[in-house]
A and B are shown apart, each in its own frame.
Chain A
Amino acid sequence: MVNQEAVFFSRVLTELTLSFHIIYATIGVGVPLMIMIAQWVGIKKQDEHYILLARRWTRGFVITVAVGVVTGTAIGLQLSLLWPNFMELAGNVIALPLFMETFAFFFEAIFLGIYIYTWDRFENQKKHLLLLIPVALGASFSAIFITIVNAFMNAPQGFDIVKGQLVNVSPLVAMFNPAMPTKVAHVLSTAYMTSAFVLASIGAYRLLIKGSKHVYHKKALFLTMKLGLIFSVATAVIGDFSGKYLAEYQPEKLAAAEWHFETEKGAPLYLYGVLDNGEVKYALKIPFGLSILAHSNPNAEVIGLDRFPDNEEPPLYIHYLFDLMVTLGMGLTFLAFVYVLGVHRKWPLIFKKWFGRLLVLSGPLAVIAIEAGWWMTEVGRQPWILRGIMRTSEAATGSGQVDTMLMLFSLLYLILGIGSVLVLIRMFRKNPVEQELADRDAEKAGDLK
């Protein structure tokens, strides 16, 4: 029994939970790597500032992890509660990566606990670095496994359907589906990129808005911007592969995102613009752009929406999300490039207040790009929950209480969102780095006496 109202509210609740969760999850995947790098740089350069950087990031990170863990538990349960028919079917094929994800999460949880509660227990900083490696690995692997599940929903394979029954199931074939390589790579690189920019925002805020002159903030900003540049370039390259994947395996998503209606050779690429009665207006048209993007060949044929029945077309508004994601991604890459080069060449530009404001904005903008990207990819596979196999409307629960649950969860996310931001601000206001450095020096001097 499926009622349309439950389908609608289930979609809204899932979207809300995931949109909230991915903010914390992205930070949860990327920041451990940044912490590990800072610790490693600190050891290599014998520079206490980087080690302190690692620890101060960790303190804030714990708060975001807590919210990530609890919202992750929520989405884990909601998969079965809101989409019981989907989980019953897909569980037969895709349970393996879901299961492995919990192992990765377990592994990370254990070592994070150890790392934060052995602060100063070991004299040798390398031991702390060794504890950080499993944290970073666990975080990245849980992202890999859960993205594999999502990739499967876009490109289901590894089973046959004979008379409505699933047969010949092969869990590994299901995991290594065609969508998996680009999805996993894109999720990881954007998570690292976003985390780098989020941390850069903090450094920029202290340095350029609050006017702190401390060398600690300079090191933090330069390190994170360099990392941001590296990962945003990687993201752009992988993003291009993702486009080529779509052209090959999921042409309706690409066609909807690019407003490509007629199948044709030498297809142009539309940037921005609005859709008015099926007409693209005010768009920036790049001749042959889509053919190049999709097949690296200006004359290649790109499949348009005309090849798909109307009831299998994704919503066309995903074009705006696509534009937003790509524009922000390109903009951030450029910003990081200018900053890193500016530091080397000592351009006066990088000390300007307006430029500082841009740097402060980079973290939130990266998060917006992440949201836009996920909305685009998820809405882009509508009407399917399992592309070509199960429609979203067939998968939802029949329960009449989803709307009430939606309100309860909205309230929860509001509380968690406000709570985590307030606590984070409080933590760092109460204990600025200048204070902490002074305290540490005092402690050391005390030891010597």
Chain B
Amino acid sequence: MTLEILGITVLGVFLFGYIIVASIDFGAGFFNAFSVVTGKEHILTRVIQRYLSPVWEVTNVFLVFFFVGMVGFFPKTAYYYGSTLLVPASIATILLAIRGAYYAFTIYGGLKYRRYTILYGLTGLFIPASLSIVLVISEGGFVTIRNGGPELDYWVLFTSPLSWSIVVLSLTSVLYISAVFLTWYAQKAKDYNAANLLRKYALAWAGPAIITASGIIVEMRTHNPEHYERLLDLWWLFGLSVLFFAGTVYLLWRRIAYGFAFVLLAGQFTAAFLAYGISHYPYLLYPYLTIYDSFTNKAMATALVTAFIAGLCLLIPSLYLLLKLFLFNKDYVQGNRNDHV
């Protein structure tokens, strides 16, 4: 394995981690707001907050880790993506900031208003939409080099069916991932009302999620034929992904083994993410930037990998402790403890 591949794998793992934990977070905010609007707040709010409170900060770190690592391993991405993403990334940052601060203000500060809860839920939909623009741009065709610098063509971006498909995909998968996870969590909390409601949401979003995902592959055929060819070569990974998807839906339908259903869901997204990532190789920004011509010097790459391994030795036990104390702590999950500062 070359250092380039190792670098992009590390970043891929963190991006994937962010997609999963942030989806749970964004979706939870949306379902919470939805329950306020539909008068089902009493069913959902408690279980959602009990999960989110100890981990909301950690979610944010996954994102920071990804973009800092990206610039570290591939400094040229700062030039290409930094120059083009000013507007979408700034909007995402502002929404993330409002969201994070508001969450702390309500949970720790006791500031609770209906309209804020709804606003909070809506930001959870706008953030994935604005972040997914990065994936759209990486397909090529939206950035032109003008006057010696890359520029984003907003008109092409907003009129492209591909960009809208990816935005819709990000929304449906956020809601689907979140609903499946929370179903499992509510079941563990012995909160059967919440589990039943969330199960319905999960089943409702399963169809749209898989349809939009398949739609992207079709879009790719006209947008980026080279990428499309590579995607087809990996048909078996997509097949595996669909199989996992069917398993999750079956288990939810039969109301059994929600934990295993979430594992299958993770498998579904891992397979799809891997297939997408591998077929994207070697481009970071088609056709300007590959992982080879943007890679940092060898000394820095070695230093970063060393720091990464040392960092993991600290992080993994700490994350394990966090999960053990909250996610896998029966008393905490079931709400028998209230140890909150």
Please report A residues at the B interface, Cβ cutoff 8 Å. 1, 55, 58-59, 62-63, 65-67, 69-74, 76-85, 87-93, 95-96, 98-103, 105-107, 109-121, 134, 166-167, 169-172, 397-399, 401-402, 404-405, 408-409, 412, 415-416, 419-420, 422-424, 426-427, 430
Contact = CB atoms under 8 A, between A and B. Distances in A.
B314 interface: yes
A198 to B, nearest CB: 18
A73 B63 contact: yes
B90 A88 contact: no
A116 B296 contact: no
A119 B318 contact: no
B148 A73 contact: no
Contact of B322 (A92, A113, A166): A113
6 contacts: A74-B94, A81-B89, A91-B78, A96-B72, A167-B297, A419-B102
B75 interface: yes
B107 to A, nearest CB: 9
B98 A397 contact: no
A134 B314 CA distance: 11
A70 to B, nearest CB: 4
A87 B65 contact: no
Interface string B93-106: 11011101111110
Contact of A102 (B65, B81, B147): B65
B253 interface: no
Nearest to B76: A88
Contacts of B111: 422-423, 426
B114 interface: no
B240 interface: no
B152 to A, nearest CB: 9
A364 B278 CA distance: 53
Nearest to B303: A171
Nearest to B78: A87
Interface string B54-86: 110110110111011101110110111111011
A446 B140 CA distance: 67
B299 A169 contact: yes
B8 to A, nearest CB: 15
Given A99-B69, A102-B64, A408 B296 contact: no
B300 interface: yes
B254 interface: no
Interface in B169-197: none
A401 B86 contact: yes
B72 A95 contact: yes
Contacts of B64: 72-73, 76, 102, 105
Interface residues of B, number: 71
Interface string B26-46: 000000000000000000000
Contacts of A401: 86-87
Contacts of A423: 105, 109, 111
A91 B294 CA distance: 11
B109 A426 contact: yes
A71 B97 contact: yes
Given A67-B101, A85-B79, A87-B71, A99 B304 contact: yes
Nearest to B332: A117
Interface of A is mostly: helix
Nearest to A404: B87
B185 to A, nearest CB: 16
B158 interface: no
Contacts of B307: 96, 99-100, 103
A195 B146 CA distance: 48
Given A81-B86, A99-B307, A107-B318, A66 B101 contact: yes
Nearest to B99: A70
Interface in B225-251: none
A91 B296 CA distance: 8
B149 A117 contact: no
Closest 8 CB pairs of A and B: A91-B75, A66-B104, A95-B72, A84-B82, A87-B78, A423-B109, A70-B97, A80-B82
A58 B326 CA distance: 19
B1 interface: no
Contact of A84 (B69, B79, B101, B297): B79
Contacts of A120: 339
Tell which of B60, B89, B147, B300 has the most Cβ of chain A within 10 Å.
B300
Given A84-B82, A92-B75, A66 B105 contact: yes
A95 B104 contact: no
Given A113-B57, A117-B54, A117-B326, 17 more contacts: A58-B341, A67-B101, A69-B60, A73-B60, A77-B90, A95-B296, A95-B300, A98-B72, A100-B307, A103-B307, A112-B57, A113-B54, A114-B321, A114-B322, A117-B340, A171-B299, A423-B105
A152 B108 CA distance: 38
A106 B65 contact: yes
Contacts of A170: 299
A73 B54 contact: no
A38 B310 CA distance: 31
A87 B82 CA distance: 9
B325 interface: yes
B218 interface: no
A81 B147 contact: no
B86 A402 contact: yes
Contact of A81 (B90, B297, B318, B340): B90
A70 B80 CA distance: 24
B53 interface: yes
Contacts of A69: 57, 60, 100
Contacts of B315: 103, 106-107, 110
A166 B87 CA distance: 30
Contact of A118 (B81, B304, B339): B339
A55 B86 CA distance: 40
B156 interface: no
A166 B297 contact: yes
